[in-house]
Amino acid sequence: MALVRASQYFLPTWKEDPAEAELPSHKLMLRAGMIRKLAAGIYIYLPLARRVLHKIENIIREEMNAIGGLEITMPVLHPAELWAETGRLQDFGPILGRLRDRAGREMVLGPTHEEVITDLARREIRSWRQLPLVFYQIQTKFRDEPRPRGGLIRAREFTMKDGYSFHESKADLDRFYREIYQAYLNIFHRCALDVVVVEADPGLMGGSESHEFMLPSPYGEDSFIQCESGDYAANLEGAISVKDADPPEPLLPLQEVATPNCYTIEAVAKFLGVPTRKTAKAVFYKAGEELVFVVIRGDLEVNEAKLARALGRTDFRPALEEEIKEIGAVPGYASPIGISRDGVKVVVDDSILKARNLVAGANEEGFHLRNVNFPRDFTADIVADVAMAKEGDPCPRCGAPLRIQRAIELGHIFKLGTKYSEAMGATFLDRMGKSRPLIMGCYGIGVGRLLAAVIEAHHDEAGIIWPANLAPFQVIVSVLDPKQVLLLSLGERLAQALAEAGLEVLLDERDQSAGEKFHDAKLLGIPLLVVVGPRAVGQNQVELERRRDGEKRVVEAKPELVVSKVMELLQGA
RNA sequence: CGGAGAGUAGCGCAGUCUGGUUAGCGCGCAUGGUUCGGGACCAUGAGGUCGGCGGUUCGAAUCCGCCCUCUCCGACCA
């Protein structure tokens, strides 16, 4: 039986918006007494938040268990050597929280657990007969993010459900991937969230396929691109861009033109009176010893995630002016024509393929070339799509315009393949007795972020509006003047009856003004309010008020009647 | 890491430009009383290293320097 007395509980609510919060979910969680900040991006979860988190976590558990997931708990502290094995000790960089134990051993605070689970797998999994195996945990992660923001939306210390699956074949991973995809939809649906599933960039996680589960929100920390007709949605990092081409035109001869003080595409285009899409832009990166020379249509931007894929490396940075000059290119007037190709990798975006008679730099201060054409005038080491998709671009599937949406990334699932198992030697004997690396997938949900997202999706000016299945309490029984013994005892009886009927009940018998109690009830977002006040009780009645729509009922103050009416109203909450 | 802003009582803020009684206001908190249907009222009271350190000055919340913390924008973000 679940009956909590407010006077003995911890409800540190605030009347005013805190100065430090910007997002509705952040403000409301502070105001409702759910969280308190310890340091930037590091929060204490108070009792009210814990109640909701338990429900969210249990939904996740049920759905994970239903597809064969086995719950485990892995350590927060990992030996750094494990991370060195996969190279991620380096790759994660300063995001990785690091420390030494008393013996001087390097340790890391786990930002994720591929290394640990793969270590477990290589010790324990020997035969295909043990497969498939799906482990998951709901546990604290630490990432020393450069910029935490928005309360629980992007914290440094946060709770994550992370799952890892091991398979004997790609086909079995594919099968399980479809199951977990559906399980994720179930989880978010049960949390009353309308998520959009977007194709994501598997990037350097390796593997073939990856999806993100996004909740569209103006306060999102992420964005994705979506086709109006709904047949394509992708993370911006991986979004395929279709480049509309101009109609073909005859190739004209190269022609040098003076363009004084035109150091930017906009300036050149304006000076020569051509649209920016009729220019070729040069963008430079330094990757190790190599200078990467990207040629892209002037109206487009380079997508560095796509460039990383085209190059097969991520260790590059924008080049310095001196580095550009070293190869004979002139910053502001650069083009791939007439430069030294020694130690230079020319990457041509596919937007250049169909473009004709472009304006490009002449590698001479104050001059550009007209009528530059690929591949007539220069060659490429790599031709690839390295452009950032943008608002209004045609959808790669149906051609309808694409729109950019801000969103909260709630979940991310990956087909990892053998990246970790190979790096760490996690192998098994297959049906033919042959040793092969385990085939893996990994699957994350930001639990705290999910909690915040539920509030983002379900609140109004007065406070939170919990979906009934996530609410910390389903009913709040508010005794307006608890010093009147009759009112208090009636409130107690009703609360008891409701609790015995299986509901979680908060009995607000605090000696506070009616207004405060009404406001708190709304702020806390409890689906149903039972008002035990002198006015109605005088006529042997109590009032019910539904949080979601303000729907009110008056009921005779008999426990059975109140219970049945509460149940009825909760159906619509 | 770049840009912007902020740090004064538990919360929200004024005071700082132009140095000068005992550092204020609202809310909250404690005690007593009056109230009791949509954030009541009266009285009394507690609560402050004015983010820290250093400097200037007869005198610093206020001026100067360094540092710390927090927020927002950007970069970044399996």
**Residues A360 and A256 sit within 8 Å (Cβ to Cβ):** no
Q: Note the CA–C1' distance, A533 to B36, in angstroms.
A: 10
Using C1' positions and the CA of A523, the closest nucleotide is B39
CA distances from A36 to A18, A21, A127, A152, A408 (A): 11, 11, 48, 11, 21
Q: Note the CA–C1' distance, A511 to B29, in angstroms.
A: 15
Instruction: Identify the domain containing residue A353 by its residue range.
Output: 255-384
Using C1' positions and the CA of A223, the closest nucleotide is B77
pLDDT at A205: 60
pLDDT at A398: 87
Asked if the bond preceding A260 is cis, omega within 30° of 0, the reply is no
Q: Is the CB of A94 under 7 A from strand B?
A: no
Please give residues of chain A from 498 to 537 whose alpha-adjacent beta carbon (CB) lies under 7 Å from any atom of strand B: 511-516, 518-523, 531, 533-537
Q: Is the CB of A162 under 7 A from strand B?
A: yes
Q: Which residue has the higher pLDDT, A314 or A187?
A: A187
On whether both A377 and A232 belong to a single domain, the answer is no
Q: Is the CB of A442 under 7 A from strand B?
A: yes
pLDDT confidence bin for A202, thresholds 50/70/90:
low
pLDDT at A26: 95
- Give the angle subtended at the CA of A129 by the CAs of A123 and A131, to the nearest 5°: 70
- Interatomic CA distance for residues A59 and A191, integer angstroms: 8
Q: Work out how many domains chain A is built from and give that number.
A: 3
Q: Note the CA–C1' distance, A20 to B59, in angstroms.
A: 36
The residue out of A354, A384, A414 marking a domain boundary is A384
pLDDT tens digits, one per residue of A104-133: 999 999 999 999 999 999 999 999 999 999
Examine residue A393 and state whether it is found in any structural domain, yes or no. Answer: no
On whether both A186 and A235 belong to a single domain, the answer is yes
pLDDT at A282: 86
Please give residues of chain A from 26 to 45 whose alpha-adjacent beta carbon (CB) lies under 7 Å from any atom of strand B: 31, 37, 39-41
In strand B, the nucleotides that come within 7 Å of a protein beta carbon are 1-2, 11-13, 26-28, 35-40, 69-78
Q: Which residue has the higher pLDDT, A328 or A518?
A: A518
CA distances from A22 to A11, A18, A143, A221, A405 (A): 22, 9, 22, 13, 19
Q: Is the CB of A18 under 7 A from strand B?
A: yes
Please give residues of chain A from 96 to 135 whose alpha-adjacent beta carbon (CB) lies under 7 Å from any atom of strand B: 111-114
- Interatomic CA distance for residues A427 and A331, integer angstroms: 51
Q: Which residue has the higher pLDDT, A365 or A136?
A: A136
Examine residue A27 and state whether it is found in any structural domain, yes or no. Answer: no
pLDDT tens digits, one per residue of A170-183: 999 999 999 999 99
Please give residues of chain A from 171 to 210 whose alpha-adjacent beta carbon (CB) lies under 7 Å from any atom of strand B: 203-205
The residue out of A336, A353, A384 marking a domain boundary is A384
Closest CA to A465 of A536, A390, A528: A528
pLDDT tens digits, one per residue of A444-495: 999 999 999 999 999 999 999 999 999 999 999 999 999 999 999 999 999 9
Examine residue A399 and state whether it is found in any structural domain, yes or no. Answer: no
pLDDT at A422: 95
pLDDT tens digits, one per residue of A271-326: 888 888 888 888 888 887 888 888 989 888 888 888 887 887 777 777 777 788 88
pLDDT tens digits, one per residue of A315-326: 777 777 778 888
ipTM above 0.85, yes or no: yes
On whether both A310 and A371 belong to a single domain, the answer is yes
pLDDT confidence bin for A43, thresholds 50/70/90:
very high
CA distances from A414 to A323, A489, A521 (A): 38, 56, 41
What is the domain-level CATH number for residue A269? 3.90.960.10
Using C1' positions and the CA of A539, the closest nucleotide is B37
